[in-house]
Structure 1
């Protein structure tokens, strides 16, 4: 499946052709950060992954730049991530959210990752303009104005490390492939209701940010299972 995604960039409009989407996980740059994320997920009933770092294939049609994301049920969770893709031989980065079904994740993470839309911003930056200060970039997720995730990218694998890892397991062709980076520590859980998410990639050196706002709207089953 191939989809096209439009972005604004500092150099003008960009239309990316995407035929492969991967969500990485457990991508902390140190073992301590990875172990902390594993323990965080264990508390939610999610077991240790079969491989660290981990990769999950995502249906490209789940990419969304909408300001509204509908989900089934009340048990989904956002994860702010940087998103890397290559178009026309050049790498770009934007911000995204790996919204995931938390109940299914405890049973089958790969399926859980494909039960929700993957929100991405409408703006992207060329990666080559960020390499010399990449570690100083920051990711933030707020839920109804409350900061749930925040941290510098020095905590996570760099885009080059991420692409090298992906190439070793999904082939060397980065053109047309979009990679969600994995996430950082979550502080609390979002309310089980309709809520506004704001995901941000901030560059304190060039004093600019990519911001995407979207509302998560849960749909409830009409005839829920009994018992």
Structure 2
């Protein structure tokens, strides 16, 4: 099985070309920071919402993701108001390594029960423009990522906080048994929001900027809670009330 994505590859010289990225495996990473202490604020942020971090599993923690979750759609369907985006470095291995940016949209209600389950519950949104990593390897650490929710700045972080792309690939191959030689996609984790609290909203926007050149790539999407379309009195609870987790 594979997932195909139409993208634009933009070179450092400004030239661009259309391409088709094929993904046969996808992975999301957690706590993928160079300094473990950098991830602590985000861990505390999610802990306030009752989300358990598996600290007994070495970081970065790896979450295999079903391919249908990868999207560039303008709308993301969810089934609870407790969802939020996370701006992340996105790596795609094809004929060479490409870097981009995306949003690992996450169901925070389900995340209190299962982080792997929550990663499958929402889409992984990706901007359809990528840069060849080899062309910017030396300037990579200068790049900055930002996200906004409902027009409010939500995240603002330099990529230098995260493990370098080539090291991510090496770690992935060491820890996962069937990483293909090519045609796989990796979302590389996130850190704390600007106000150190999970944000919720309908309109999400994110970008990556290379300050030295002024280049930017990014995208946006709108969250649609489809459960609210069912009339009151006919909605099945998101959590089974018999389990004591009605929401």
Return the TM-score normalized by structure 1.
0.93
Partner residue, 1:219: 226
Gaps of 5+ in 1: none
Q: Which residue of 1 aligns with 2:102?
A: 96
Residue-by-residue CA offset, 1:95-150 (whole Å, 9 max, x unaligned): 11111110111111111100011100111111111110111101100011111101
State the Cα deviation string for residues 161-205 of structure 1 (Å, max 9, x = none): 21111111124534011000001212333345xx21111011111
2:10 is the alignment partner of 1:5? no
Aligned to 1:29: 34
Aligned residues: 224
Pair 1:103–1:29, CA change in 2 (3 A) = same
Structure 1 stretches (4+) deviating beyond 6 angstroms?
A: none
Q: Secondary structure at the match of 1:125?
A: strand
Change (3 A) 1:158 1:174: farther
Is 1:165 the equivalent of 2:146?
no
* 1:189 matched residue in structure 2: 198
Is residue 46–residue 198 contact of structure 2 (8 Å, CA) maintained in 1? no
Q: For residue 138 of structure 1, what is the aligned residue in structure 2?
A: 144
Equivalent of residue 179 in structure 1, options 172, 186, 189:
186
Measured after TM superposition, the shift of residue 40 of structure 1 is 1.6
Q: Are 1:63 and 2:75 matched, yes or no? A: no
Asked if 1 retains the 8 angstrom alpha-carbon contact of 2:82 and 2:200, the reply is: no
CA RMSD, Structure 1 to Structure 2 (Å): 1.5
Quick check: 1:85–1:174 contact (8 Å CA) kept in 2? no
Would the alpha carbon gap of residues 174 and 99 (structure 1) be closer, same or farther in structure 2, given more than 3 Å must change?
A: farther
Name the CA distance, whole Å, in 2 between partners of 1:111 and 1:55.
Answer: 13
Q: Report the structure number with the largest CA radius of gyration.
A: 2
- Aligned with residue 147 of structure 1, among 150, 153, 162: 153
Give the structure 2 partner of residue 43 of structure 1.
48
Q: Which runs of 5+ in 2 are unaligned?
A: 11-15
SS at match of 2:109: helix
Q: Distance in 2 between matches of 1:181 and 1:72?
A: 25
